[in-house]
């Protein structure tokens, strides 16, 4: 017999032959892992943000505190009730920042770097989110280029290392726009709540920063017009807590903005350089931003509104109501200008786009070098050189010495006292009757008659916040006593200050 006849089923068909036991079923071919390009692109905005953090930390503690930073440090050292007492009288718009800094310094201390670190982190965050906005609105490369351009603008470094809320305004301005895009594109009540919170913090950081909300309306008008009613409701609710601060700010206009010069064509022309901290960098970025017109209007309009509306609004208010044409109030326009400049450079139709962008970044970085060095100078910021004042006094102070300042001066007493704390000894400030922390203002109350408080002191240090050939003109009430019973044995003039030392005859 050649072979067995195969068995059949009842239906008459032969069953399929079984596979040998020793032959396992063939494995399916492995599924290729997804390319990681998408995840890498999402991380790209971190690169300029980290660079900004590194740049801002370089020399962050070298500049002496500005007169405004001295106020931040002094008010933050007060108790919460004392800070709240200030807000109805002066600096209402900075009240939320003072409260934040109060709790921050309780943890981190009051050194220059500690005071400035929150702003450094805020500016690094602003650069990161600007890069993310560029990625969302244009391309990943556009976002990175915009972030890198911001890193090399001198005033991003200066106001990163500034114990004032301007870096926070830059941060919340870009964050609010990003969260709006997120809320519209992905939906959800929680995302709208986060957006509303960012708008609230934007207004608390600086009232002028709320002008950037015009860009939000423009983006919605172009991309999601049906969401405008929702946006209006959320924004209105978010702004409600800011309105009392805005009202107080208008009532404090005479004390808050009395120093601002009226707007004129010369000041308008100078403003770009003042905002950027470098005239060359400013006009280079403006020129590049103007070249972005080749982009589709629906991409450009919201960012252009973001850049232009704050400038136009502040200019109009300055011309028609009250001068407030101040560069640091308008730092919020740096991010949209950088985005427009990057969009112009990254022309997807050009094979040389990346090369061109790298070349321009290097040119901006080179042009920014003088400005970057200037903002890190020991006396780069506004106000006297309090650190040198304290060193001069601390090097020669003796037991029984007293120090006097011009009456009703806001910062010279606070700034000198801040740095004198680092000296082994300091002269007694004998003229203070009520410390500034207990006045509800920024100025200490002195005794009505200062002469008895000073009489008999072996030596008197007179410190004033400007340069004068005759320092006693700052204290005419003490001039008869000092000229008759003392002789001047020391005279120094550090930046924006005069120190005179008088010794008893």
Question: Can you read off the two tokens belonging to residue 95?
Answer: 């009240």
- Closest alpha carbon to 122 in 157, 94, 82: 157
Mean pLDDT for the stretch of residues 319-326: 94
pLDDT tens-digit profile of 43-75? Answer: 899 999 999 999 999 999 999 999 999 999 999
Burial label, 161 (beta-carbon count in 10 A; 0-12, 13-18, 19+): buried
DSSP string, 38-53: HHHHHHTTHHHHHHHH
Residue ranges covered by each domain of the chain: 39-375, 386-504
pLDDT computed for residue 11 by the predictor: 42
Those residues whose C-beta lies under 8 Å from the C-beta of residue 106, and which sit 6 or more positions away, are none
The residue behind tokens 């997120």 is: 182
What H or E segment, with its residue span, contains residue 96? helix 95-108
- Closest alpha carbon to 350 in 266, 291, 431: 291
Cβ(242)–Cβ(203) below 8 Å? yes
- Closest alpha carbon to 413 in 71, 41, 172: 71
328 — pLDDT class (breaks 50, 70, 90): very high
Task: Determine how many CB atoms are found less than 10 A away from the CB of residue 323.
Answer: 18
pLDDT at 262 over 80: yes
pLDDT tens-digit profile of 207-231? Answer: 999 999 999 999 999 999 999 999 9
Q: If DSSP codes are grouped into helix, strand and coil, which group holds residue 402?
A: strand
pLDDT computed for residue 37 by the predictor: 59
pLDDT above 90 as % of the chain: 85
Query: What is d(CA 329, CA 310) in angstroms, rounded to the nearest whole number?
Result: 9
Better-predicted residue by pLDDT, 446 or 298: 446
pLDDT computed for residue 1 by the predictor: 39
Q: If DSSP codes are grouped into helix, strand and coil, which group holds residue 278?
A: coil
pLDDT computed for residue 36 by the predictor: 54
Query: What is d(CA 267, CA 176) in angstroms, rounded to the nearest whole number?
Result: 30
How much is the pTM?
Answer: 0.90
Cβ(343)–Cβ(335) below 8 Å? no
pLDDT at 152 over 90: yes
Query: What is d(CA 500, CA 114) in angstroms, rounded to the nearest whole number?
Result: 32
Please report which residue ranges of 58-91 form alpha helices under DSSP H. 67-76, 80-86
């Amino acid at each position: 017999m050649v072979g067995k006849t195969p068995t059949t089923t009842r239906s008459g068909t032969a069953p399929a032959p079984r596979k040998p036991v020793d032959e396992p079923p063939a494995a399916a071919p492995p599924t290729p892992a997804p390319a990681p390009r998408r995840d890498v692109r999402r991380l790209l905005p971190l690169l300029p943000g980290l660079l900004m953090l590194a740049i801002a930390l370089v020399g962050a503690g070298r500049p002496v505190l500005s007169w405004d930073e001295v106020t931040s440090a002094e008010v933050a050292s007060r108790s919460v009730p004392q800070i709240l007492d200030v807000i109805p009288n002066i600096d209402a718009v900075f009240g939320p920042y003072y409260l934040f800094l109060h709790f921050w310094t309780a943890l981190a201390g009051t050194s220059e770097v500690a005071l400035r670190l929150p702003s450094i982190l805020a500016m690094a965050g602003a650069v990161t989110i600007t890069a993310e906005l560029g990625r969302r609105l244009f391309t990943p490369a556009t976002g990175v280029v915009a972030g890198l351009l911001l890193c090399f603008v001198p005033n991003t470094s200066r106001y990163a290392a500034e114990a004032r809320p301007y870096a926070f305004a830059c941060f919340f301005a870009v964050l609010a726009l990003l969260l709006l895009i997120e809320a519209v594109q992905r939906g959800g009540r929680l995302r709208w709540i986060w957006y509303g919170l960012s708008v609230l913090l934007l207004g608390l950081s600086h009232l002028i920063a709320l002008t950037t909300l015009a860009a939000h309306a423009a983006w919605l008008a172009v991309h999601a017009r049906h969401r405008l009613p929702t946006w209006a409701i959320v924004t209105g609710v978010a702004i409600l807590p800011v309105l009392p601060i805005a009202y107080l700010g208008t009532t404090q206009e005479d004390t808050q903005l009395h120093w601002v010069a009226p707007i004129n064509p010369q000041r308008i022309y100078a403003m770009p350089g003042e905002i950027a901290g470098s005239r060359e960098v400013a006009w280079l970025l403006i020129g590049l931003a103007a070249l972005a017109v080749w982009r589709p209007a629906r991409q450009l309009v919201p960012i252009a509104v973001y850049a232009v509306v704050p400038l136009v609004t502040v200019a109009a208010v300055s011309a028609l109501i009250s001068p407030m044409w101040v560069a640091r109030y308008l730092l919020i326009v740096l991010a949209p200008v950088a985005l427009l400049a990057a969009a112009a450079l990254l022309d997807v139709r050009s094979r040389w786009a990346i090369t061109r962008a790298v070349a321009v970044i290097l040119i901006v970085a080179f042009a920014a070098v003088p400005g970057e060095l200037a903002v890190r100078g020991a006396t780069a910021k506004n106000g006297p050189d309090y650190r040198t004042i304290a060193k001069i006094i601390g090097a020669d102070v003796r037991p029984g010495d007293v120090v006097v300042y011009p009456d009703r001066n806001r910062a010279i007493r606070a700034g000198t006292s801040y740095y004198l704390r680092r000296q082994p000894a300091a002269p007694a400030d004998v003229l203070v009757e009520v410390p500034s922390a207990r006045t509800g203002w920024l100025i200490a109350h002195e005794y009505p008659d200062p002469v008895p408080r000073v009489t008999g002191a072996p030596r008197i240090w007179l410190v004033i916040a400007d340069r004068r050939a005759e320092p006693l003109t700052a204290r005419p009430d003490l001039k008869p006593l000092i000229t008759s019973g003392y002789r001047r044995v020391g005279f120094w003039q550090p930046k924006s200050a005069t120190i005179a030392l008088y010794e008893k005859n």
